[in-house]
Chains A and B, each alone.
Chain A
Amino acid sequence: MSHPRHALDEIIHAPVRLSIMALLAAAETVEFGFLRDTIEVSDSLLSKHINTLEKAGYVRVTKGFVGKRPRTWLALTDEGRNAFQDYTSILRQITEGPHHT
């Protein structure tokens, strides 16, 4: 029987992308600047990881305006939400053992 860590989603299991997914999982939509300030990364690094998550179909990016200011809004897709749920349940299997799923 293989160890549950082999089932961890490699797209999510990277520090910055995990923070992005965790934050988006708790929210409906999050503004790019809020995400950047909360997880303490640069604009370019955040854009790079969002691009990866968007390509995987986990994150939806919406651009709009608040007054005259451009804003970028991010949200998890249903696929992203399911993937994150699976990911956290595997983490719990690892930390608590297979009997605590």
Chain B
Amino acid sequence: MPEHDDMSADAALREVDRAQGAVRKASRRGAYFFLGMWLGSTGCWLATLLGPKTVNIYVNLALGALTVAGFIYISRQRVYDRLLSRLAYPVTYAFVGTTVVAALYNMFLHPQEPGPLRAVAGVLVALIANAPLLYGAVRIFRAAGDR
């Protein structure tokens, strides 16, 4: 890139769009990360709440691996979009909160006998537990689309 070009206003605005497009692309990766975590974690919760007890150990291992992968992914980012930075902590705290609520429900309230109530409650709890991740993904996708 030349260092001392005399730029027109149009060329300068085009360059602003181009440079900011690179950040938008990176922020979409953040949204895909939230979406991936949401899918993986929802699958794990459904297996925990509705699957046989024998799968619990594997599900817990999968959740642990997902969390570690998430930390590694976030720490390796080279650009942090403004919205992603603003959302990261609230989404994480909300996700931890809903996960604790879901874990308490699973320990004390979840019906043990198979039936429609168990299935409906299990699906609802799995969706609520992971709603913050979906919220984060949707917010970033919307913002990336609007800009």
Q: Interface size (B, Cβ < 8 Å)?
A: 30
Q: Is A18's beta carbon under 8 Å from chain B?
A: yes
Q: How many A-B residue pairs have CB under 8 A?
A: 85
Q: How far is the CB of B114 from chain A (nearest CB, A)?
A: 47
* Secondary structure call for the A interface: helix
Give the complex CA separation of A71 and B89 in angstroms.
Answer: 22
Question: A26 with B13: in contact, given A14-B3, A33-B78 (CB under 8 Å)?
Answer: no
Q: Interface size (A, Cβ < 8 Å)?
A: 29
* Secondary structure call for the B interface: helix
Q: Is A61's beta carbon under 8 Å from chain B?
A: no
Residue-wise, chain A 6-48 has the 8 Å CB interface mask toward B (1 for contact) of: 0000000111101100110111111101100011110001000
Binding site for B on A (CB under 8 A): 5, 13-16, 18-19, 22-23, 25-31, 33-34, 38-41, 45, 66, 88, 91-92, 94-95
